[in-house]
Amino acid sequence: MKVEDLKKIKKVSIFVDNEKINGEIIEIDKWGKMIISVPSEVKTIPVELGKRGEIFFEEEDKKFFISGKIFSQGIERMVFLPETDILTEKRKDERYEVPFLPAKLKTKTGILHKEEITGNIINISLSGAKIETQIPLKENFIYDFETTFYIRHKPYPFYAKVKLKHIKKVRNIFLNGINFIDIDYIYLENLKKYIKELKHELKKDSLNY
């Protein structure tokens, strides 16, 4: 499937600033630039130049997405410039962009040898995360993954056993996709609460108390 094939799709979901917006493609040019209309009640169209986001859509019961940059074009329209081809959505859970958040990964690479790698989390979900590191993670190794979430300036520790799912090198940085394979209940609850914070839902929850 090519980007221009989206002319027949029309209905899409735009994921930007950790929020999902329903929209409709009303124009696509030969370079793939799209103009998308959104409901008038939406107040979250980004005005920053080159805000990154993703577009999701379904075709023949399969889910697909495209990553790119989003620009505001008035109150009810946005412009989307694709930066990737159309990709099949295989992620189990939605991933949320994370502000600067360091993490550590530790593993045993031999009887007496331990390895510790530091990195920064780029995005996170209930089932995994993407983390950038200067040293690549190794396949078929189990890592101890540690970080601390900050929610309204209060620290919430997080720990999980993780395994490398895929890796990509960009210049001198490695982008590691990891899966959580073992999380204790308390850390899972901290993760759920942090994701709610990223989704801006904690403020909504507090209105119900």
- Considering the entire predicted model, what is its pTM? 0.65
Average pLDDT, the chain: 83
> What is the tally of structural domains in the chain?
2
Q: Nearest-CA neighbor of 180 among 195, 169, 197?
A: 195
State whether 117 and 167 are in the same domain.
yes
Q: pLDDT digits over 127-172, tens only?
A: 999 999 999 999 989 999 999 999 988 999 999 999 999 898 888 8
Distance CA 151, CA 109 (A): 34
Percent of the chain past pLDDT 90, that is, above it, reads: 35
Q: Under the phi-then-psi rule, with left for phi > 0, alpha for psi from -120 to 50, and beta for the rest, what region is 106?
A: beta
State whether 100 and 163 are in the same domain.
yes
Q: Nearest-CA neighbor of 66 among 132, 20, 13?
A: 13
Task: Give residue 109's pLDDT band: very low, low, confident or very high (50, 70, 90).
Answer: confident
State whether 131 and 31 are in the same domain.
no
State whether 157 and 178 are in the same domain.
yes
Cβ atoms 192, 184 nearer than 8 A: no
State whether 119 and 103 are in the same domain.
yes
Q: Report if residue 143 sits inside a domain.
A: yes
Q: 190: domain CATH number? A: 2.40.10.220
DSSP 8-state symbol, 58:
E
Burial class of residue 6 in the structure, from the number of CB atoms within 10 Å of its CB (0-12 exposed, 13-18 middle, 19+ buried)? buried
- pLDDT on residue 148: 97
Cβ atoms 37, 7 nearer than 8 A: no
